[in-house]
Amino acid sequence: MKLSTYHSFLLAATLSLLLAGSSHASADIIVITGGDPGEGYAPFSSNIFAAVNTGSSNSYTLQGVTFTSTDPHISITSTDAINSGSSYLYFGNSTADDLALSNIGGTDIYNVGTGAITLTISGLTVGTTYQLDSFSGLNTNYVARNMVVSALGATTVTDATPGDYIGDGHLYDFRQILQPNSFGVITVTYTAPDLGDATLNGFSIAATPEPSATALLGLGLLLVGWLSRIRPFTHR
């Protein structure tokens, strides 16, 4: 059966919707080049559960997501002493999002030693999939700061490229897709096994769009197109 151009378009649109539902399905490390859309940070802004600007008492809004200094669902601990510091990462002020990212990237928390920072997020919906974006970076390379981000049931994200360290002047987004445990809790561990300090500038967590809903929408579009094709044409 040969598809018309119209139905080929509908089929392509359906496939695009299906792929969109799973486009954030893998863990990755992203270099953030600025605060605007398309420059690294890609949150599900309308589904944000929490966003925290670590190392600072100020709040900043980045791409519609407000990063606050504290959140009742968030707990951050460390096996060693944990300190606040300055990262000196600057992304300009040509746009409001660039300036917000400069402020978020300009401060951090870090553990003193080779231990771990542990982030605990509670109050999440069991069975829901979430995207966690963890920012880490420094504008100094006085010590190699490769970092490993791990969580139960999620793909471990490791910055282990030789010479490509957290202290190389870039801000990185350690992005993971994960689900909470049966108590609605996600626990994430940040470690720096190469004698550096695990560093966290900020993070956000958001529920991802349900692939099932996206699939139903796409199939619905295809069905409407098919019915319009077989419906008989009647002259008035």
pLDDT, tens digit, 9 for 90 and up, residues 45-71: 999 999 999 989 999 999 999 999 999
Q: What is the mean pLDDT of residues 102-109?
A: 94
In whole angstroms, what is the distance from residue 138 CA to residue 127 CA? 35
- What's residue 225's pLDDT? 60
pTM: 0.79
pLDDT at 111: 84
CA–CA gap between residue 236 and residue 151 (Å, rounded) = 65
**Band of pLDDT at residue 188, cut at 50, 70 and 90:** very high
Q: Which range is least confidently modeled, 11-25, 61-75, 77-91?
A: 11-25
Q: Is the pLDDT of residue 85 over 80?
A: yes
Tokens representing residue 25 in the block: 């399905």
The residue among 204, 209, 235, 184 whose CA lies nearest residue 32 is 204
For residue 63, give the nearest of 79, 45, 81 by alpha carbon: 45
Task: Give the span between the Cα atoms of 51 and 60, in whole angstroms.
Answer: 10
Alpha carbon dihedral 217, 175, 57, 145, in 10-degree steps, equals -170
Report all structural domains of the chain as residue ranges with CATH numbers, in order of start: 24-230 (2.60.120)
Q: Is the pLDDT of residue 15 over 50?
A: no
Phi-psi region of 223 (alpha: psi -120 to 50; beta: other; left: phi over 0): alpha
Give tens-digit pLDDT for 70-83: 999 999 998 888 88
Average pLDDT over residues 168-177: 91
User: Strands, E, within the chain: which ranges?
Assistant: 28-32, 48-53, 60-62, 65-67, 74-78, 82-86, 107-111, 116-121, 130-137, 148-151, 157-158, 171-178, 186-191, 199-200, 202-207
